[in-house]
Amino acid sequence: MSSSLEKIIELVQSYERLGKKLYKNGAVAYGNAPHIGKKAYLHLVMPAATEKQISKIEQAINMTLHQSFRSLLSEHNGIDLFSGTLSIFGFKDWDKSADSQPFDIITPNTYERPAWLKSGSLEFAFYNFDGSKAVLSPAGQVTVHDAEKGKILNKWSSLDHFLASEAARLPSFFDDSGKLVDEDVCTVPIKD
């Protein structure tokens, strides 16, 4: 596991003090958030994707996943931070009714692929504040884009840098119970 992914996992596990829920499929939810809903949790970490699931993703989107994202999937098939503030996609098995699954990575890279998304680039996450999209380039760089026109809002040299940056940045928007300090503040990492 990369040190940046470890930081993400440490972040979500720090909310175990607010509650933890284990799902049958191996997913773990951290931080019960009754201010959102009685059964709501702040973070959801999916179990590892299988090599077969990763191959199905590559076949469906007709591209080879960058090694950094393959590594992430081999550890966690999707991660949801702060109730969707940032959601990292994974393989969603539409044939199974699992009690917890990640946001699907295939649909935004096929049927709903934005016209502005360059060939070979992968939409791998989104921000629920405004639908901004996180994109991994074939060279392994990460950019966050405006959902409509694809304007670059911020960029990182690698997936590791992106994950480390977000693990450090996102908690500043929330109090100790996981409530947004200011519901009107933009939680998307827009570079000044």
CA 10 to chain centre: 15
**Whether the model pTM is above 0.85:** yes
For the stretch 124-178, pLDDT in tens is 999 999 999 999 999 999 999 999 999 999 999 999 999 999 999 999 999 999 9
For the stretch 71-115, pLDDT in tens is 999 999 999 999 999 999 999 987 666 678 899 999 999 999 999
Distances (CA, A) of 118 to 82, 98, 104, 121, 186: 29, 33, 20, 6, 26
Position 158 scores a pLDDT of 97
Domains parsed from the chain with CATH numbers: 3-173 (3.40.1580.10)
Distant-in-sequence, close-in-space partners of 173: CB < 8 Å, separation ≥ 6: 82, 85, 180, 181, 182, 185, 187
For residue 120, pLDDT beyond 90: yes
Position 3 scores a pLDDT of 84
List the structure tokens of 142: 């990460």
22 vs 192, which has greater pLDDT?
A: 22
Position 108 scores a pLDDT of 96
Please list, residue by residue across 133-155, b when 16 or more beta carbons sit within 10 angstroms of its beta carbon and e when fewer do. bbbbeeebbbbbbbbeebeebbb
Position 4 scores a pLDDT of 87
Mean pLDDT of the region 34-48: 94
Position 94 scores a pLDDT of 75
SS3 28: strand
Position 170 scores a pLDDT of 97
